[in-house]
Structure formats: C-alpha cells, structure tokens
Amino acid sequence: GENVEQHPSTLSVQEGDSAVIKCTYSDSASNYFPWYKQELGKRPQLIIDIRSNVGEKKDQRIAVTLNKTAKHFSLHITETQPEDSAVYFCAASYTGGGNKLTFGTGTQLKVEL
Amino acid sequence: DAGVIQSPRHEVTEMGQEVTLRCKPISGHDYLFWYRQTMMRGLELLIYFNNNVPIDDSGMPEDRFSAKMPNASFSTLKIQPSEPRDSAVYFCASSFVGDWNQPQHFGDGTRLSIL
C-alpha cells in the first residue's frame, strides 16, 4: 500500500520568513495530494491540494509543488505569520482507490515573533 | 453547507461502558470515513463507507469497535466495552468522487475519555 513520509516533524521560523514542508510517497499511482492544517484542539482543514496533471499551485501565501518523477511534493508558506502556527499534514490518494487518503505524520510549525 | 456534524463533542465515561459516536456527512457526499487521532499514533483511518456500504475496515483495532451507516446521512461508531486506551479524538470525514478524487472534509471531532 501507499506510504507517505513527511519532514521535518517540527519547524520553527521567525515571523516573515518562509517555511517549507516536504513529503514523499511510494505509490506511483497516487495522483491527488491535499494538505491539511490542524490548529490545537481543532479539526484538520484543507488548505490547498494538487493533482498530478500540474506541477505547482498557488493560493496567496501558500504554494504546493509536485515532482512525479521523484515522487515528492512540498508545501511552501511565505511571509509566515503567528496564525500559521499549527500542525500540517500531507496526504496522497489515487483515483479508483476509494478516495482513501494516506496521511503523513505531521509537521508542527511554530512561527515566532 | 453545514459541514460534517459530529456528536457528542466530548464524552467522558467509565471503563466497560458502551460508547456511541455519531456523524452526519455533508449532503451529497458518498464517502464517509472514521479516524482516530492520538499523540502516539497520529491520525489513523478506522473504517470507510461508500454509498453506505463498508469498504475497508482493516483499521478497526478490535472486535470491540463497530461502525454502521444505515442511510446516506448518518453513521455511528460504537465501542463496547470501552477501555482507557480507547481515549482519543475521533473524527468523521466525508467526500465525493468525480473524475478526480476530491478532498475529505472533517467534522469537529469527539474527544473521548475513558476513565
């Protein structure tokens, strides 16, 4: 089955700096890659996703890149703010796989003032 | 769109008692997922349904856990008898599938504490 590895497990940045979180996946059939943000005590919320027919997607300060050959994808947050502090999860799934997501183990991002 | 609705939000009960968690998916979504989240094990998929039919229950930890989806707008996750190690946050999520997979939308979760 699919295996998703996520790094780093913790990340501390200064406000205004950029943050990058990386994930690798094992199943070349995977073609959908969402990213979730989970604040303390809250539910995971989708922040951005990418499908295998594109290499990059942006939404304001957030971007995701996908390298199908290397089977890795990354989340980029620019101009970080304290409210970006949360746990971020990457995930992967493939069409025909029942919409089942395989999640990474999460990255605790802390944005310091 | 009311989102995925879970109840109760918090449950505290004694070991050995039966616990029932409830979920109402987003209308029109044909997939429903139950997850368990703990610090030690992260986010674990327990079971998921498609069109009310269980598709994969390989994540259900023991026979003490059972899940049902009697109709498209309601699902339950039951633990009987409950044990302290079942303490966790249980999330329900729903989605639909078009030409491509679509994101799962999570409910607010049930924080379960077994004493």
pLDDT at A94: 86
Q: What is the pLDDT along chain B (115 residues), one digit of tens a residue?
A: 689 999 999 999 999 999 999 999 999 999 999 999 998 888 999 999 999 999 999 999 889 999 999 999 999 999 999 999 999 999 999 998 877 788 999 999 999 999 9
Shortest CA distance from B102: residue in chain A = A99
Q: What is the pLDDT along chain A (113 residues), one digit of tens a residue?
A: 889 999 999 999 999 999 999 999 999 999 999 999 999 999 999 999 999 989 999 999 999 999 999 999 999 999 999 999 999 999 999 887 778 899 999 999 999 99
By CB neighbour count within 10 A (0-12 exposed, 13-18 middle, 19+ buried), where does A76 fall? middle
| Cα torsion through B61, B73, A97, A54, rounded to 10 | -120
Q: Are B47 and B56 in contact (CB under 8 A)?
A: yes
Residues in chain B: 115
pLDDT at B98: 79
CA distance B80 to B20: 9
pLDDT at B1: 63
Q: Which residue in the set B48, B100, B105 is minimally distant from A51, CB to CB?
A: B100
How many CB atoms lie under 10 A from the CB of residue B115?
Answer: 10
CA distance B100 to B84: 40
Q: Are A4 and A30 in contact (CB under 8 A)?
A: no
Contact B102 A99 (CB under 8 A): yes
Would you list which residues of chain A are within 8 Å, Cβ to Cβ, of chain B? 31-32, 34, 36, 42-46, 49, 51, 89, 93-95, 97-101, 103, 105-106
Residue B10 phi/psi, 5-degree rounding, is -135, 145
pLDDT at B101: 83
Q: How far is CA A57 from the centre of its chain?
A: 12
Measured between CA atoms, how close is A79 to chain B, in angstroms?
26
Q: Which residue in the set B42, B91, B96 is minimally distant from A43, CB to CB?
A: B91
pLDDT at B74: 97
Q: Which residue in the set B45, B96, B101 is minimally distant from A95, CB to CB?
A: B101
Sheet containing B74-79: order of strands = B5-7, B19-24, B74-79, B65-71
| Residues of B (13-52) whose Cβ lies below 8 Å from A | 31, 33, 42-43, 45, 48, 50
